[in-house]
Amino acid sequence: MYKRSLFSFLFFICFLCSYSQTLNIATYNLRYDNPGDTGNLWKDRSVAVVGLIRFHDFDVFGTQEGLKNQLDDIANGLPEYTCYGKGRDDGGDKGEHSAVFYKKEKFALLKCGDFWLSETPDKPGKGWDAECCNRICSWVLLKDKATGKQFYFFNVHFDHQGKIAQVESGKLMLKKIREIAGKNNVVLTGDFNGDRSSDWYQRIASSDILKDTYKDVKYPYANNASFNAFGKTLDRDDVIDHIFISRNGKSSRWGILTDTYRGKFPSDHFPVEAFIRF
């Protein structure tokens, strides 16, 4: 009788541990492969980016600005991951991506999709007063193979100039997340081109469905701004790269990863990492 009770107790503890499994999540603006970035070319940075991701061992992470060749370099260097995301210019491979990488041994892909930050989100195009670029959000529905739990992961890159586009993109993100994910658990990562004082950040962080993982953590590793301009803006503290989760979730760790290589920076943004559970 005692052995049976002990076994049941241990089984219950193991079940609780697996059910509330912690996930290592990150967002990382890669800086697009710009031939004009003298001294910081992608061909030189790519090894450092791959090494950083491998060392920090993210379970799922969103990237911004990555061109197809950059995503291929990461996938080839880290075969334990697979990724999803369409190019913002044509819904295929053209242009920058807001891709989602995930460990393929750990997660099963159940659904995926994309939408554009514009008045016509179902097709490529600029939105509102955005003058420079199309902006895209890619998303996946993942199933944790160990626990059977499912969650949606959205990854986005907001416009950097159009103020109306930034505000309206915040509204659109909440609308689309409600439509696509319903009441399911959600992670939203991205370069929002807005710090915690911006309208669009406030709209998302104070919504009834999402919260900023930063706010959960007693001692966040907030040692720098998330944008570094390849080392030119290291005296700032503003964060424009954010990780949001459903309000029933909890973050235990949050940090800006200021890794460098030989005094250089793998990107003009630092990745932001959070450990979460639902």
Q: pLDDT truncated to tens, each residue of the chain (278 aa)?
A: 555 554 555 554 454 444 568 999 999 999 999 999 999 999 999 999 999 999 999 999 999 999 999 999 999 999 999 999 999 999 999 999 999 999 999 999 999 999 999 999 999 999 999 999 999 999 999 999 999 999 999 999 999 999 999 999 999 999 999 999 999 999 999 999 999 999 999 999 999 999 999 999 999 999 999 999 999 999 999 999 999 999 999 999 999 999 999 999 999 999 999 999 99
User: What pLDDT is attached to residue 241?
Assistant: 98
- 208 class by beta-carbon count within 10 Å (0-12 exposed, 13-18 middle, 19+ buried): exposed
**Which residue, 160, 156, 157, is CA-closest to 180?**
156
User: What pLDDT is attached to residue 21?
Assistant: 86
User: What pLDDT is attached to residue 192?
Assistant: 98
> Would residue 19 count as lying in a domain?
no
User: What pLDDT is attached to residue 1?
Assistant: 53
> Would residue 6 count as lying in a domain?
no
- 70 class by beta-carbon count within 10 Å (0-12 exposed, 13-18 middle, 19+ buried): buried
Number of domains making up the chain: 1
**Which residue, 201, 248, 188, is CA-closest to 25?**
188
> Would residue 14 count as lying in a domain?
no
User: What pLDDT is attached to residue 20?
Assistant: 64
User: What pLDDT is attached to residue 52?
Assistant: 98
> Would residue 81 count as lying in a domain?
yes
Does the model's pTM come out above 0.85? yes
Q: Is 258 helix (H, G, I), strand (E, B) or coil?
A: coil
- CA 241 to chain CA centroid, Å, is 8
Range of the domain at 168: 24-277
The Cα 74–Cα 68 span in angstroms is 10
Strand partners, 150: 143
User: What pLDDT is attached to residue 99?
Assistant: 98
- For residue 77, give both structure tokens: 């260097």
The Cα 226–Cα 255 span in angstroms is 10
Strands 107-116 and 136-144: antiparallel
> Would residue 4 count as lying in a domain?
no
Q: What is the CA radius of gyration of the chain?
A: 19
Greatest alpha-carbon pair distance for the chain in Å reads 73
> Would residue 76 count as lying in a domain?
yes
User: What pLDDT is attached to residue 63?
Assistant: 99
Whether 20 and 277 have beta carbons less than 8 Å apart is answered as: yes
Angle (CA) 46-273-238 rounded to 5° is 95
Q: CA distances (Å), 176 to each of 88, 159, 179, in order?
A: 17, 17, 5
Whether 33 and 69 have beta carbons less than 8 Å apart is answered as: yes
> Would residue 18 count as lying in a domain?
no
User: What pLDDT is attached to residue 15?
Assistant: 47
User: What pLDDT is attached to residue 18?
Assistant: 47
* Residue in the block written with tokens 């791959």: 50
Task: State the CATH number of the domain containing residue 104.
Answer: 3.60.10.10
Q: Is 10 helix (H, G, I), strand (E, B) or coil?
A: helix
> Would residue 87 count as lying in a domain?
yes
User: What pLDDT is attached to residue 126?
Assistant: 96
